[in-house]
Homo-oligomer: A and B are copies of this chain.
Amino acid sequence: MPYQILIFEDNSRLRQSLEMLLNDEANFYVAASFPDCDNADKQVEKYNADIVVMDIDMPGIGGIAGVKKIKNTNPDVKVIMHTMFDDDNRIFDSICSGADGYMLKNTSPLQLINALQEVMTGGVPMSPFVAQKVFQHFRQSKIEAEQFDLTAREKEILELLVKGNSYKMIANKCGITIDTVKKHLQNIYHKLHVNCGTEAVAKALRHKIVNPE
């Protein structure tokens, strides 16, 4: 039995050509397609869908909210985003909302078919550009981090603070007095432009000045 596919895409021309493209494959069957995803969760239920092809920019609730709805009720349905948007926010919001793939609309028909095949074998298809963005997200750290110009000692102390150590514990672990710790942290706060430890921790983690875990 072919995989049941739903398409959510507001451009009717594109929607129809997607339908034709996918229906040409022996193991795909487009059960239905819609110009908006306001009832996406119910449609998925009704048609017992295996795969959803989801546009982002649509009238109504939008594709990212759509994924969320679908994944809440049917976590096993595979959802592949299919959009022309390649900005960080849309990409990461989609992933966080539970998308199983992210293909840009400049993808060739063959590659899109491959993406759908791939997602059914447990893969996570994404356009090369998207993969780039995702990898970059992990890096970019040091470039920014070095902007703050922390000394080795300061980084060490900040790292201990982020790990939840009190001033006293930091003093012990570094073999220095608590006053020195205070002084270092004071300098650190100035360099990070923050006023207290909690802010410093937030900034350190967000800007990846210290290693996460």
Protomer copies: 2
- A202 close to B199 (CB less than 8 A): no
Question: Would you call B128 and A122 a contact (CB within 8 A)?
Answer: yes
Scan A15-44; emit 1 where CB is below 8 A from any B CB, else 0. 000000000000000000000000000000
If over half of A's interface residues share one DSSP class (helix, strand or loop), that class is named, otherwise mixed; here it is: helix
Q: Are the C-beta atoms of B138 and A131 separated by less than 8 Å?
A: no
Q: How many residues of A contact B (CB 8 A)?
A: 38
Contacts of A199 in B (CB 8 A): 164
Per the 8 Å Cβ criterion, residues 76-95 of A in contact with B are 92, 95
- Confirm or deny: A58 has a beta carbon within 8 angstroms of a beta carbon on chain B: no
- CB A155 to nearest CB in B, in angstroms, measures 16
10 smallest A-B Cβ distances: which pairs?
A: A164-B199, A124-B131, A123-B128, A95-B138, A205-B205, A201-B201, A197-B198, A198-B201, A96-B138, A124-B135
